[in-house]
Amino acid sequence: MSMAQLPENSESEVVFAGCSNAGKSSLINTLTDQHKLARVSKTPGRTQSLNFFQITDSRYIVDLPGYGYSSVSAKTRAKWEKLLETYFDEREPLKGLVIVMDVRHPLKQYDKNMLAWSNYNNVPSHIVLTKSDKLKRGPAKDTVFKVKAWLKEQEYTTSVQLFSSLKRDGVSEVHGVLDGWLGL
């Protein structure tokens, strides 16, 4: 896949990024309510390249391959990385970034890089702490608090929420953010 193959009619798009297995594809499935639309993996690293999902005529959401997946060949990985770099540098319709993290493993180095990029370039970002069903309410809220404190320390404007694909918790909150960015 190359930049030239990306949808030409796109006026606004939102990217979902996050570590491999964080739950990006499950989140997109839950949001769009179309099961199996974005492939959910049993083995990490299933989402290949950039997957575009058309929401309306000129609006898309984009599922990125999970970062940190090591079993693809070095050549494939280098190609993806080049494409992603160009995408983030050049893609005009990009309106916002959803950074998906497993609530049990927040703020990995990759997440921090994405946050730095979005805040530096003034592209809005929103953190979704997913798999919240894996934690009790107290520890989950604690994580939100800690992530917010870290963001404040960095002087980042990124927002944060809890989410569970399993329980469908937090769906309307994500929808609200996306609608704002996509102009829906």
Ligand X SMILES: Nc1nc2c(ncn2[C@@H]2O[C@H](COP(=O)(O)OP(=O)(O)OP(=O)(O)O)[C@@H](O)[C@H]2O)c(=O)[nH]1
Q: Which residue is nearest to ligand X (CB)?
A: 66
Of the candidate residues 13, 14, 17, 26, the single one contacting ligand X (CB under 6 A): 26
Cα distances from 22 to residues 5, 17, 73, 147, 166, in angstroms, run 27, 9, 21, 16, 13
Rama region for 102: left / alpha / beta (φ>0; ψ in -120 to 50; rest):
beta
Cβ pair 66, 44 in contact under 8 A:
yes
Q: Is 104 in the site for ligand X (CB under 6 A)?
A: no
The identity of residue 13, as a single letter, is E
Exposure string of 105-139, with b = 16+ CB inside 10 Å and e = fewer, is ebbbebbeebbeebbeeebbbbbbbbbbbebeeee
Q: Is 25 in the site for Mg ion (CB under 5 A)?
A: yes
CB closer to ligand X, 66 vs 96: 66
Bridge pairing between strands 94-102 and 125-130: parallel
Determine the interface stretch with Mg ion among 9-17, 23-31, 54-62, 128-136 (rule: CB under 5 A). Answer: 23-31
Closest approach of ligand X to the CB of residue 174, in Å: 12
Bridge pairing between strands 51-56 and 125-130: unpaired
CB closer to ligand X, 55 vs 135: 135
Q: Is 58 in the site for ligand X (CB under 6 A)?
A: no
Q: Is 51 in the site for ligand X (CB under 6 A)?
A: no
Q: Is 166 in the site for ligand X (CB under 6 A)?
A: yes
Residue 133: which of ligand X, Mg ion, none does it interact with, CB under 5 to 8 A by kind?
ligand X
Contact positions toward ligand X, by CB under 6 A?
18, 20-26, 40-42, 44-47, 65-66, 130-131, 133-134, 164-166
